[in-house]
Amino acid sequence: MPAEFRVRPARTSDVPRIVEMAQPLVAKRVLVPKERVAYYESIQEFLIAEDTEGNLIGFGALHVMWEDLAEVRTLATLDSWRGRGVGGALLHQLLERARALGTSRVFCLTFEVEFFTRHGFHVMADQTPVDPEVYTELLRSPDEGVAEFLDLARVKPNTLGNTRMILDLDASGH
């Protein structure tokens, strides 16, 4: 049976399609709005899923935050493809990237708690799971994702009410 879709690294030529697919999700407040330039600047972090005709059906990114910590960002699948393994395939490959890069924990900020729970993530406790020295270093980052991970008050008006979740790659088997 031929595969219904494939996952591959994103290219700069994919950015217009990613932005187009993201716009309705931003409007629904499922994804945080990003400028087009931010997609180009981080294109090497993205994977895309395409159907057999080359249509974009999903995307996701992995952003390294620290030596042992990365974040799954902007993971989305077209509604018509939900429940068909696209999100799981993207997440699996992003987690493989995290392992290859040497990170041992992966963070996400999501409304899809059940999906991430099925893949081994758990809801983060109120405290940030990093050493005080690392916390101090992370405070210097201008990245909003880092601020969300640290649960800083300055990002709370901008967050969408998502749940902070984390996965320990060493213990997960995923």
Q: What are the tokens at 142? A: 């201008």
List pLDDT tens digits, range 31-68: 888 899 999 999 999 999 999 999 999 999 999 988 88
**pTM of this structure:** 0.82
pLDDT at 158: 46
pLDDT at 1: 40
Distances, alpha carbon 8 to alpha carbons 24, 25, 47, 123, 160, in Å? 23, 22, 6, 29, 29
List pLDDT tens digits, range 61-111: 999 988 888 999 999 999 999 999 999 999 999 999 999 999 999 988 888
DSSP letter at 155?
G
Instruction: Work out the burial of residue 123: count CB atoms within 10 Å of its CB; fewer than 13 is exposed, 13-18 middle, 19 or more buried.
Output: exposed
Task: Calculate mean pLDDT across residues 10-23.
Answer: 97
Domains of the chain: 5-168 (3.40.630.30)
Does residue 120 have a pLDDT over 60? Answer: yes
Q: What are the tokens at 161? A: 């009410």
Residue 84: helix, strand or coil by DSSP? coil
What letter represents residue 27's amino acid?
A: A
